[in-house]
Amino acid sequence: MNGSFAPRQLALALDHSISFAREDFLSGPSNSEALALVERWPDWPDRIVALIGPKGSGKSHLATIWAKAAGARVLSAKRLSITDVPAALATGALVVEDLEATDLDERALFHLINLAREEGAYVLFTGRLVMADFPVTIRDLASRLRAVPAVILMPPDDALLRSLLVKLAADRQLALDEPLVSYLVNRIERSFAAAHAALQRLDDEAMRQHRPVTRALAAELFRTP
């Protein structure tokens, strides 16, 4: 083996502190309607509403802001069971996170919606797909899902994407200068997931090479053909 090659350094998987405080939420045209919905509670169009958007679009951040204001419990949709529904609604407000069409306990969801209606509880669903499109087999559940008002979080515009990159970097204790931010905005997909992935890739490679996060490093990683 050629001795001139340095051994590959493995980047450590570190936890990064992410703040879900209201003052740390980045607002823009893509999420202004969703933010307005959360902030005008309890003046909602319905006691049961949904926030729909792609991964990393801020649904959980908004749900956390609302849960704090409403004293809501937070439950993963995967843990929703028919026996736990009364306890889940005990405070009169509930967040159900990441509701998906697959592996859905239809009976539990149907019971949850019905009991929330009976008790006048508030429920905030989050998910990536519009609930009205779920291929459920319980016909009455299908009609209930179609009746839930949904606010869609859209892809970020340039200004929000720039702010998002700076915030994600700060969460990792990284500093991005203006040339680097501009370079990334012009080369990554215009989505929240792409911004997260780009910062992850930059951070990992910088640690692997023991280099600072710079435009030069980004050019090596995101060079277009």
**Residue 225, pLDDT score:** 56
User: Which CATH number belongs to the domain containing residue 71 in this structure?
Assistant: 3.40.50.300
Q: What is the DSSP string of 15-69?
A: -------GGG----TTTHHHHHHHHTTTS-SSSEEEEE--TTSSHHHHHHHHHHH
Domain identity same for 39 and 57: yes
Domain identity same for 137 and 41: yes
Q: What is the DSSP string of 63-94?
A: HHHHHHHHT-EEEEGGG--GGGHHHHTTTSEE
Decide if 174 is inside a domain.
yes
In eight-state DSSP terms, residue 190 is: S
pLDDT mean by block of 10 residues, the chain; 225 residues: 33 51 85 96 98 91 96 95 96 97 94 98 97 95 97 93 92 90 93 90 94 93 77
Range(s) of the domain holding residue 95 = 28-152
Distances (CA, A) of 82 to 23, 85, 123: 36, 6, 16
Tally of domains within the chain = 2
Both tokens of 63, joined, read 């749900």
**Residue 175, pLDDT score:** 87
* Residues 157/121, Cβ–Cβ less than 8 Å: no
* Residues 95/72, Cβ–Cβ less than 8 Å: yes
Domain identity same for 35 and 143: yes
Domain identity same for 164 and 102: no
d(CA 218, CA 198): 9
The pTM assigned to this predicted structure is: 0.81
Domain identity same for 124 and 175: no
Q: What backbone torsions phi and psi does residue 191 show, to the nearest 5 degrees?
A: -155, 160
Domain identity same for 66 and 48: yes
Domain identity same for 56 and 144: yes
* Domain final residue pick, 152, 178, 196: 152
User: Which CATH number belongs to the domain containing residue 186 in this structure?
Assistant: 1.10.8
User: β-strands 150-152, 73-76: how paired?
Assistant: unpaired
**Residues 72, 74, 78, 79, Cα dihedral to 10°:** -80
**Residue 12, pLDDT score:** 35
**Residue 21, pLDDT score:** 78
